[in-house]
Amino acid sequence: MSETKQPRVGIVMGSDSDLAVMEQAGVVLDELGVGYAITIASAHRAPDLLRAWIRKVEAQGIRVIIAGAGGAAHLAGVVASETLLPVIGVPLDSSSLHGWDALLATVQMPAGVPVATMAIGKAGAKNAGVLAVRILALQDDRLAKRLVEYRSKMAQDVEKRARELEERGGAKRTPGFRPASNHPS
C-alpha cells in the first residue's frame, strides 16, 4: 500500500509471479497521486483470502478494484461477483498460451457481472491504473486536472522523440544499419 495517501484503488493479482507486470498499475497511480492497496490472492487457490481482502478494502473506502491474473484467469470475474465496486481486469501472459487464455477468461463475463478488460500485459496494467483514475476523477476535479496534465505530458514525450529521431536523420545513422531494398534483385 502506498504509505501516505488514503487508498482509493485496490490492486490484486493471482500470484507474486505477476508482480513485475501488475506493479505498472501502481506506478501510474503513484504518478497521478492516488493511494492504493496491493495484494496477492487467488480465486482458485485461496478463495477465502480473496473474499476477506475484498471485504477489508471495501471497509477501507476503496472505490475501484484492479485484478490481474494469467492462465485460466477467474480472479477478476470472481472479484466482480463479490463486490459492487467497478472491477478492471488485466489478463497476463503467464502460460504457454501467451495471455490469450487469460484475455478470454477475463473478458467473456456473463451478463450482469461486468469486468472492464484491458490489454494483455504491461500496457493493460498501466491502462488499468489510468482507467481507475478516470473513474475516480468523475467526482474529483483535482484528479481530472492531473489526467489532463498526464495526457499533455504524453503528447510532449512523443513530440520529443519525433524531434530526436528527425535530428538523428532516422535509422540510417544507427551503427551497422543497412537500408533494406524494396526491389530485391
Q: Is 14 in the site for ligand C2R (CB under 6 A)?
A: yes
Q: Is 161 in the site for ligand C2R (CB under 6 A)?
A: no
Grid cell of 3 as nine digits: 504509505
Q: Is 117 in the site for ligand C2R (CB under 6 A)?
A: no
Which residues are within 8 A (CB) of 78 and not within 5 positions of it... i.e. 6 or more apart? 43, 47, 50
Q: How far apart are CA 80 and CA 84, in angstroms?
A: 7
Sole binder of ligand C2R in the list 21, 43, 87, 125 (CB under 6 A):
43
Q: Could you tell me the smallest distance in angstroms from the CB atom of residue 51 to ligand C2R?
A: 12
The closest of 120, 123, 21 to 71, measured between CA atoms, is: 120
Sole binder of ligand C2R in the list 2, 39, 42, 81 (CB under 6 A):
42
3-state helix vs strand vs coil in the chain, percent to 5: 50, 15, 35
Instruction: State CA 145 to chain mean position distance.
Output: 21
Sole binder of ligand C2R in the list 37, 69, 80, 109 (CB under 6 A):
69
Q: Is 24 in the site for ligand C2R (CB under 6 A)?
A: no
Q: How far apart are CA 104 and CA 122, in angstroms?
A: 17
Q: How far apart are CA 29 and CA 131, in angstroms?
A: 10
Q: Could you tell me the smallest distance in angstroms from the CB atom of residue 172 to ligand C2R?
A: 42
Q: Is 168 in the site for ligand C2R (CB under 6 A)?
A: no
Which residue number, 32 or 88, has a Cβ lying nearer to ligand C2R? 88
Q: Is 94 in the site for ligand C2R (CB under 6 A)?
A: yes
Q: Which residues of the chain form contacts with ligand C2R (CB under 6 A)? A: 13-15, 17-18, 42-45, 69-75, 92, 94
